[in-house]
Structure 1
Amino acid sequence: MALLEGVHYIYTVKPGDTLYEIANRYGSTVQLLEQTNALFDPVTDPGLIHPGQVLVISETGLGQRSAVSYMINAGDSLYTIGKRFSAIPDLLVGLNPLITDADVIYAGTPMAVPAFIYEVESGDSLYRIGQKLGVPMKEIIQANRNRPGFSPDVLYIGYRLIVPMPSSNNIVVFRPQPGARITPGQALEGIARAFEATILYQVVDDNGVVVTREKHLTTSAGAPEYGSFSAAILFDRQPTADGGEVWVYARSAMDGRIIDLVQVKVGF
């Protein structure tokens, strides 16, 4: 599984930038920047970057913190940023509580975004990655637009893709990560905007067998705010397949139907 932990930045190249200066600023190395963005022959001119290109920058070292941040550019809005990551502006505000006015964001500052970083492995294709993670190809393509070395048809080993997290308008799931193998007691974490601060989850295997019956979770805040949630996943029975999904959702106060469903593809 090639979803990467650690601290990563999504950065748009400015006039006058060099790989050396970018690497120093963000605690990375030129070699790592070249590998993760395919800045080498025959993909691109070795080490050459152009204003407007979008780079993935990964900090070196093995820190405990794990985060993906987008560096805001002049002219950005919550709408344009959210479009890249398949997220509505409200969800970005929920992830960034220091934003007090949705119409005012500042160029040069980092913004937490609902995304993972995936490192391409031997045999990968965009279709295969999308199937493995349960993320639509079009969302992965949208998240990686304007990146050097990115092509939906050809992927290079070691290239690092931006992958949107599973989310709906009101729920985003941080853990388990898409494609992860889960066992009883594993963490279920994320944020949600929910009526009376109540959401639900269940686990279903690929044979349609309910492994975990519907269970309630309480978030740290109720609508209209986003609140965090964290719980240990419980199993009510053993899975009958190697894979399945964790469903996180709310129910309509009007008729009880499932709303804001987020489905996270997992293994057992």
Structure 2
Amino acid sequence: MPIIMRKTYIYTVRPGETVYSIAQRYRSSVQEILRINYLIPPVSDHGLIYPGNVLIVPDLSTAGRVSYIVNWGEVFNKIAFRFSTPLELLSGINSIANPNVINPNQQINVPAFIYEIELGDTLAGIANRFDLSLVNLIRANQGRPGFSVDVIWPGYQLVLPLPTTRNIVVWNPLPGTRVVNGQRITGQARAFEATILHQLRDMNGVIVSNERFTSADAGAPAYGNFYSSIPFDRFPTTSRGELWVYTRSANDGSIQDLIRTVVYF
């Protein structure tokens, strides 16, 4: 599946800017920005952009996550809403003590990834493949030139929100990707005693990888980074499955903050 792994910025065009000036600022390419945002006929006049347009801007020099560039006058809860993620988590993973104070041009790491549309795709099909709400998919792409709920274009790139809770985000594996025995897991979490648990299930409910724990590098109230791996204890019986990442209640041991990431075997 065409999931894009390179560093990407989500940028709002300001008055007087051109595709060329934006490409220069973010070590990108004019032709690539035109292609993935479909700033070309028949969707748009070649390279035509307006203030307020939201562009995907790839950094062609490095791999990495998705960052949102704060625009003038934006408030933090609006950014959290755009990516369908709790305000607490977004401020915590960015070490922002006061979310009421953010600055224009500030880079905010957001729980999202980039998908390039293929021939035959539909928005509903993409949402189903990644177990994503269609409403959330549409919201994440609001204001983008070339984006339409009725017509989509092969080669156009979409912003897809990651599943999150108030306390956990999983950065790897990404939804819709293939997992293997020993698969690496990375994420950030706010957890009591920094303890994070995970297991892997197929769609028949077979537990392919038993529950195991790992520790974040900081405990609550901080959002620590965590790393682990998934050894296969059983063979999967379906081609699709779910990675569960969660905590357990100190009171009764029940599962809390469950992130379910759709994966393939």
- For the aligned pair, the TM-score class normalised by the smaller chain equals over 0.9
Pick the aligned partner of 2:148 from 142, 147, 151: 151
Q: Distance in 1 between matches of 2:197 and 2:158?
A: 30
- Aligned twin of 1:173: 170
Opposite residue 251 of structure 1, the aligned amino acid is R
- Aligned twin of 2:199: 202
Q: Distance in 2 between matches of 1:83 and 1:93?
A: 13
- Aligned twin of 1:53: 53
1:94 is displaced (CA, Å) by 2.3
Pair 1:18-2:15 in alignment: no
Q: Distance in 1 between matches of 2:26 and 2:55?
A: 12
Pick the aligned partner of 1:86 from 84, 87, 92: 84
Aligned ranges for residues 60-209 of structure 1 at < 5 Å?
A: 60-61=60-61, 63=62, 65-97=63-95, 99-209=96-206
1:253 is displaced (CA, Å) by 2.2
Q: Distance in 2 between matches of 1:109 and 1:225?
A: 21
Aligned residue for 2:212, secondary structure, equals: strand
Q: Distance in 2 between matches of 1:58 and 1:188?
A: 24
The C-alpha deviation readout for 1:83-109, integer Å capped at 9, x for no partner, is: 011112221222212x33222111112
1:266 is displaced (CA, Å) by 0.5
The C-alpha deviation readout for 1:20-53, integer Å capped at 9, x for no partner, is: 1111111112211111111111212221111111
Percent identical among aligned pairs is 48
Q: Distance in 2 between matches of 1:42 and 1:247?
A: 43
Opposite residue 212 of structure 1, the aligned amino acid is S
- Aligned twin of 1:28: 28
- Aligned twin of 2:6: 6
- Give unmatched runs, 5+ long, in structure 2: none
Q: What RMSD over aligned residues (CA atoms) do the two structures have, in Å?
A: 1.2
Q: Distance in 2 between matches of 1:89 and 1:73?
A: 17
The C-alpha deviation readout for 1:98-152, integer Å capped at 9, x for no partner, is: x332221111121111110111111111111112222221111110001100012
1:231 is displaced (CA, Å) by 0.6
Q: Distance in 1 between matches of 2:92 and 2:117?
A: 30
Pick the aligned partner of 1:263 from 238, 260, 263: 260
Q: Distance in 2 between matches of 1:88 and 1:115?
A: 13
Opposite residue 16 of structure 1, the aligned amino acid is G
Q: Distance in 2 between matches of 1:265 and 1:152?
A: 23
Following superposition, which runs of at least 4 residues in structure 1 exceed 4 angstroms of deviation? none
- The more displaced of 103-112 and 141-150 is 103-112
How many pairs does the alignment contain?
Answer: 265
Opposite residue 75 of structure 1, the aligned amino acid is G
1:81 is displaced (CA, Å) by 0.6
- Aligned twin of 1:247: 244
Q: Distance in 2 between matches of 1:153 and 1:249?
A: 37
- The more displaced of 99-108 and 224-233 is 99-108
- The more displaced of 252-261 and 16-25 is 252-261
Q: Distance in 1 between matches of 2:114 and 2:168?
A: 20
The C-alpha deviation readout for 1:164-196, integer Å capped at 9, x for no partner, is: 112111110011111111111111110011111
Please give the TM-score of this superposition, normalised by the length of structure 2: 0.96
1:2 is displaced (CA, Å) by 1.0
